[in-house]
């Protein structure tokens, strides 16, 4: 697998999974442009500081990106302990808007990889809702739909990861057929990152202890990164519309 000569935009490069994806992609020969609200703590080929909860900030960031982008990795996200509106804007509406704005810079064979979550596994229970939200075109229309269909704060993280999986899956074939651009999701389980404690707080000790019996341990960010970079590569040229669990097998225990 090689990313030699590819230009890859990665959000959330300042820590966690995003930083590991950036390191691995550069090692594999890619030119990496990071996008984050925090300053980077690793070597990149370019960096754009941006608040991914704002349409204006996203549009300004896209204007600073190279004319051709070979892959976009949407890794940045906020935990469910944050304000619910912020979770919606960063984890879903902003991610969707960024992808739509970068798409015109992508040629045939390019790739978009969205980081979903094992916590989005219940998407079939709300499929009609998520498809309705996906059909609300544009950031503001999506925000208006959410005002009319409020999401409970205690489950907003799970809800928008579900919504992301549904949007990515339903949108992927249209872009693949029209543009030759693949879009997939990677769904990590618990991962040792700076926000792992937020997930423990969000889910509660009872849920955390129950899940702990289902797995060997939480994952490491560098165990998630190779799957994301593989999806960016030509080796995955026939993979589109997938949501790939990278969770040490925890998803299999829910069957």
Euclidean distance between CA atoms 130 and 123, whole angstroms:
8
Residues 92, 157, 159, 254: which is the catalytic one?
157
Euclidean distance between CA atoms 22 and 35, whole angstroms:
11
Which of 71, 95, 79, 61 is CA-nearest to residue 16?
79
Asked if 230 and 172 touch (Cβ cutoff 8 Å), the reply is no
The DSSP code for 254 is G
Tokens of 184: 């997939």
Which of 112, 119, 99, 249 is CA-nearest to residue 187?
119
Classify 109 as helix, strand or coil: coil
Q: Is 157 a catalytic residue?
A: yes
> Which residues, including other chains, have CB under 8 Å from residue 253's CB and lie 6 or more apart?
214, 215
Which of 81, 172, 158 is CA-nearest to residue 121?
158
**Which residues are marked as active site?**
157
């Amino acid at each position: 697998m090689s990313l030699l000569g590819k230009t890859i935009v990665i959000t959330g490069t300042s820590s966690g999974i995003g930083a590991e994806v950036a390191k691995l992609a550069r090692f594999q020969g890619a030119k990496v442009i990071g996008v984050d609200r925090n300053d980077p703590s690793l070597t990149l080929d370019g960096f754009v500081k941006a608040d991914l909860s704002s349409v204006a900030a996203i549009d300004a960031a896209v204007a600073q990106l190279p004319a051709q982008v070979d892959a976009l990795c949407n890794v940045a996200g906020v935990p469910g302990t944050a304000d619910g509106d912020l979770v919606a804007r960063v984890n879903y509406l902003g991610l969707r808007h960024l992808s739509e704005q970068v798409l015109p810079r992508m040629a045939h064979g390019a790739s978009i990889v969205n980081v979903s979550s094992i916590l989005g596994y219940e998407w079939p229970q709300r499929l009609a809702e998520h498809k309705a939200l996906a059909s609300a075109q544009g950031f503001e229309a999506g925000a208006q739909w959410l005002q009319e269909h409020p999401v409970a704060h205690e489950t907003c993280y799970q809800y928008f990861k579900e919504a992301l999986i549904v949007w990515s899956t339903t949108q992927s074939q249209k872009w693949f057929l029209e543009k030759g651009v693949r879009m997939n999701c990677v769904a990590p389980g618990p991962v040792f990152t700076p926000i792992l404690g937020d997930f423990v707080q969000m889910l509660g000790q009872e849920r955390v202890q129950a899940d702990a019996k289902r797995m060997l341990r939480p994952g490491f960010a560098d165990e998630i990164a190779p799957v994301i970079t593989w999806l960016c590569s030509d080796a995955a040229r026939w993979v589109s519309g997938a949501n790939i669990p990278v969770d040490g097998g925890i998803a299999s225990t829910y069957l």
